[in-house]
Amino acid sequence: MSEIPSSTEHERILALEARVNSLERQLKRQKIARKNAESFLETYSQDAYLANQALRKALNDSKQRERELLYLNRTASQLTQAKSGVSYIFSALESAVEFSGAYCGKAFTVKDGELSIGDDDRVLANGQGWITSHDLAKLILDETPLDLRESYSHWCVSAVIRPDTHKEARLLHFMHEMSQGEYTWLVLLTNDDNLEEETLYVLDTTKYYLNITSRYQNKKSELDNRQLELSNVKKDRDFLEERLVSADKMAMLGQLAAGIAHEINNPIGYVRSNTVVAKDIFNDYQRALEEIGNLCTRAGGEIEEQFTALEKRFSLKDSAIEIAQMFDESHEGIERIIEIVKALRSFSYPGSGKHTQISAIEAMNTVIKLTNNLHRYRNNVVFEVPKEDVFFNGNSGQIQQVLMNFLTNAIYATPQGKGITLKVERDEQNVILVIDDEGEGMSKETLSKIFTPFFTTKPPGEGTGLGMSISMTIVEQHNGKIIIASEEGKGTKVSVILPIA
């Protein structure tokens, strides 16, 4: 009985020893695992730190590259969109100040030896825009070698003492030749003496952009000038073609008018002659009728009564008066047609450029007849005929063209019911053909431009602006001159002065 418990106790001890050994081995494994974990964690933490540092550096580099790309893109965009040299110079300065992080910047331009840009106290401060600082502007001006005439290959750097902080900083300056005799400097003043070399490499692109843009602007300006010249040539060509067509039409119209005038002149002569003869015959019939009436009156009785009845029945006396008036009106109309045809023929035949002796009175009468349809129901045109006629040498067609231009302008400028007076005056050497209207008059500005080609006060489509300049050319070819006196609201007086024959 006593051996059984003893055996059981021994087994329990062995089991406990085995349990203890197992726990010790387990603890040992856990220590090894913890040590390995600590070693792995330390290695991982170190790798994570290094990776984080590398990531930070890559991020900073990426931001720097992004700033560089934004600077390059902005510079290219601003410079290519700039419309003038001054514009893209300041665009380049603004981009350079912002990218480099400089404290401020300034631009200078020397043209033909004179400082044309930068001679002031203003500087472009980073984040503040243009500010006034005499000390900074003077420092930058004094430290910039504006007498150099060779473009820089790279930005140059020099050490300076800032007058505001009294600490050392860096002055970056760059020069580019814009065109012949014109040079531009971009100057940057840093915050302190720190400066990254890579920043200078990126800033060097400004040189190429300025070079490209200046050449682009020069070519663009040259192209614009050529296009303007081409446009002017095209306008001149179109104008000359239009003038040629107009001259051809006017020549054909002149020939046609001359032919019509000639054709009208012959039958109107017959009509005029027949009308005069018919009036004379009618007068004979009228006298014969009066004698017959006298005979019937002397006969008396039934014969007188029958004649009186017939005279009343056919209204012989009234008809005779009306027919006489018709003859007079027809004769007057025929004479008017003859005068118009004469004026038309005179206007249609300029004499092939030859000068002949011209009557001043006849020239004035002709132009009045030719414009009769314009002023007949509008203005009171009066010709104060001189006691003695005055003669001068000239091309009758051209002189009438000049007078037509001035009288037509006077008619259009004179309100309905107002008067236009034509006069012929003279001095010792000249005849003066005067057209004086009671029109609206002209301002001094309009009067100064009146002989300028294509200048007109008429609405679009109602005038070419060439009449006055052509008139001036014609009068000058006749060794004459034109004097115009005008006052707004009071009218205009035109005097065409020509040498007496």
pLDDT in tens, 13-56: 888 888 888 888 888 888 887 887 777 777 777 777 777 777 67
The tens digit of pLDDT for each residue in 141-172 reads 999 998 888 777 677 888 999 998 899 999 98
Residue 216's pLDDT is: 59
Kindly indicate the confidence band of residue 99, based on its pLDDT and cuts at 50, 70 and 90: confident
CB 282 within 8 A of CB 324: yes
Residue 308's pLDDT is: 81
366 CB neighbour count, 10 Å cutoff: 24
Among 148, 238, 144, 160, residue whose Cα is nearest residue 192:
160
Residue 94's pLDDT is: 83
Tokens of 293: 């009436």
Kindly indicate the confidence band of residue 297, based on its pLDDT and cuts at 50, 70 and 90: confident
The most confident of 20-29, 240-249, 302-311, 361-370, by mean pLDDT: 361-370
Kindly indicate the confidence band of residue 348, based on its pLDDT and cuts at 50, 70 and 90: low
Q: How far apart are CA 140 and CA 162, in angstroms?
A: 10
Residue 257's pLDDT is: 66
Residue 351's pLDDT is: 47
Q: How far apart are CA 112 and CA 239, in angstroms?
A: 41
Among 3.90.650.10, 3.40.50.1860, 3.30.565.10, 3.40.50.1970, name the CATH number for the domain at 354-497: 3.30.565.10
Strand partners, 357: 393
Residue 422's pLDDT is: 94
The tens digit of pLDDT for each residue in 441-454 reads 888 888 887 777 66
The tens digit of pLDDT for each residue in 456-474 reads 666 654 555 567 777 887 8
Residue 314's pLDDT is: 78
Residue 436's pLDDT is: 93
The tens digit of pLDDT for each residue in 225-262 reads 778 887 887 877 777 666 566 555 555 566 666 677 66
Among 201, 224, 218, 226, residue whose Cα is nearest residue 82:
218
CB 177 within 8 A of CB 148: no
37-41, 210-214, 333-337 — which is least confidently predicted? 210-214
Edge-to-edge order in the sheet of strand 419-426: 380-384, 419-426, 430-437, 491-499, 481-487
Kindly indicate the confidence band of residue 1, based on its pLDDT and cuts at 50, 70 and 90: very low
Q: How far apart are CA 410 and CA 433, in angstroms?
A: 14
Residue range 108-127: average pLDDT? 90
Strand partners, 393: 357
Tokens of 112: 């033909």
Residue 113's pLDDT is: 84
Q: pTM of the full predicted structure?
A: 0.38
Q: How far apart are CA 89 and CA 174, in angstroms?
A: 12
Kindly indicate the confidence band of residue 352, based on its pLDDT and cuts at 50, 70 and 90: very low
Residue 121's pLDDT is: 93
Mean residue pLDDT of the chain comes to 79
pLDDT above 90 covers a percentage of the chain that reads 17
Residue 374 has pLDDT above 50, yes or no: yes
Q: Rounded to whole angstroms, what are the CA distances from 219 to 225, 227, 351, 484?
A: 10, 12, 53, 47
Q: So where are the chain's domains?
A: 81-194, 250-346, 354-497
